[in-house]
Amino acid sequence: TITCTEIYNEIVAAHRRGVRVRVVTDDDKQDDRGSKTMSLKSQGIEVRNDGDLSHMHHKFAIIDGCVLINGSFNWTRSAVLNNRENVVISSDPYLIQAFNHEFGSLWTAFRYNR
């Protein structure tokens, strides 16, 4: 889930600029204290959850189809301030294509989970 206000604000700002933003999250975590998931939805951002007993543990973003952000970094306040996390930012077309395919698969699989 997203609990970091600064990340949330940037996602909303991108949406308001006309960028298509889509989020897949974990159904169990979307209702956690501090989660911004419902607020993203109220801003008109497309959000789907996994609706599954297992956890959605992916943590990646694809920016404009040409930048991949991926790693252990949870998009939470705790990750920003406390945790030992890693994040890789890549423009490798092969990686971007692979993650884009994975996102598309998740988006399709969770089409009824909103």
* pLDDT given for residue 29 in this prediction: 83
> CA-CA distance, 73 to 64, in Å (whole number)?
20
Residues 6+ apart with CB under 8 A from 111: 48
State the pLDDT at residue 45.
Answer: 97
Verify whether residue 59 is a known catalytic residue: yes
Sequence length of the chain is: 114
Out of 57, 58, 92, 101, the active site residue is: 57
64 is catalytic: yes
Confidence check: pLDDT of 114 > 80: no
> What pLDDT is stored for residue 104 in this prediction?
97
Angstrom distance (rounded) from CA 18 to CA 55: 30
Interval 24-74: pLDDT, tens: 998 888 888 889 999 999 999 999 999 888 888 899 999 999 999 999 998
- The single residue of 52, 55, 64, 101 carrying the catalytic annotation is 64
Query: What pTM, to 2 d.p., does this model score?
Result: 0.90
Helix (H) or strand (E) holding 89: strand 87-90
